[in-house]
């Protein structure tokens, strides 16, 4: 199997997995991989379950569509911004997973203090404030917010996760969703444990 075919397979496998794991709804989200000096990315508005290698689109780092029978994801500019800035990145995954998306709407960095954050070398996940549609209106400070980290929250628009390949980026996206879920639980439990709410947990009555 050629290297490019192997990369196509990894993009397709990860695209199906973000759907199967509920990290996106329908045809939202997108997956890409670096191939030589270009990228291969999922097309726009195509169901992941029936995607084939021929559906992926080859795009140059300057945004020129080189090959593909469908338009690339409209959020391709987000991917390109990462690949141009980070030569260590070989795969990018963008999801709309619910807890991470909700946390992004708070505008605060995500840092529940989990051991997973150091284990997976994610650390604190920065949040880009404002509305980011992922298209040509991409935030110019995306690269700065991502820095050398593996993930960033896009205001009201989910997660952008990166890795050495699409599978590694998917793992980061899953960990970020887990972090946001735990952060939500922490806040909920702290509120419930406040003195005037403590009766919720008092089982002695």
Which residues of the shown chain bind Zn ion in the complex (CB under 5 A)? 134
Place of tokens 């045809």: 27
Provide the minimum distance between the beta carbon of 187 and Zn ion in the complex, in angstroms, as a whole number. Answer: 25
Q: Which residues contact 199 (CB under 8 A, 6 or more apart)?
A: 205
Provide the minimum distance between the beta carbon of 158 and Zn ion in the complex, in angstroms, as a whole number. Answer: 5
Distance CA 93, CA 74 (A): 14
Provide the minimum distance between the beta carbon of 31 and Zn ion in the complex, in angstroms, as a whole number. Answer: 12
122-144 core/surface letters (b: 16 or more CB in 10 A; e: else): beebbbbbeebbbeeebbeebee
CB-nearer residue toward Zn ion: 21 or 114? 21
Provide the minimum distance between the beta carbon of 101 and Zn ion in the complex, in angstroms, as a whole number. Answer: 9
Q: Which residues contact 156 (CB under 8 A, 6 or more apart)?
A: 101, 104, 105, 131, 132
- 92 within 8 A of 162, measured Cβ to Cβ: yes
CB-nearer residue toward Zn ion: 134 or 139? 134
CB-nearer residue toward Zn ion: 112 or 155? 155
CB-nearer residue toward Zn ion: 76 or 126? 76
Residue with the shortest CB distance to Zn ion:
134
DSSP structural state of residue 53: G
DSSP structural state of residue 42: P
Provide the minimum distance between the beta carbon of 97 and Zn ion in the complex, in angstroms, as a whole number. Answer: 11
CB-nearer residue toward Zn ion: 77 or 163? 77
């Amino acid at each position: 199997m050629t290297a490019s075919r192997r990369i196509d397979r990894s993009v397709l496998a990860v695209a199906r997995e973000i759907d199967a794991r509920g990290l996106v709804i329908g045809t939202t989200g997108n997956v890409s991989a670096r191939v030589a000096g270009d990228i291969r990315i999922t097309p726009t508005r195509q169901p992941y379950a029936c995607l084939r290698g021929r559906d992926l689109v080859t795009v140059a780092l300057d945004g020129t569509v080189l090959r593909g029978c469908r338009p690339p994801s409209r959020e391709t500019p987000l991917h390109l911004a990462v690949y141009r800035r980070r030569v260590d990145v070989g795969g990018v995954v963008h999801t709309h997973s619910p807890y991470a998306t909700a946390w992004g709407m708070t505008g605060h960095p995500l840092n529940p203090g989990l051991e997973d954050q150091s284990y997976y070398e994610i650390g604190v996940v920065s949040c880009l404030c404002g509305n980011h549609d992922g298209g040509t209106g991409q935030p110019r400070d995306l690269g700065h917010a991502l820095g050398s980290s593996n993930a960033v929250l896009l205001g009201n628009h989910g997660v952008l996760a990166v890795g050495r390949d699409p599978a590694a980026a998917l793992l980061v996206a899953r960990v970020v969703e887990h972090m946001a879920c735990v952060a939500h639980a922490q806040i909920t439990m702290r509120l419930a444990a406040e003195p005037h709410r403590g009766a919720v947990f008092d089982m002695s009555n």
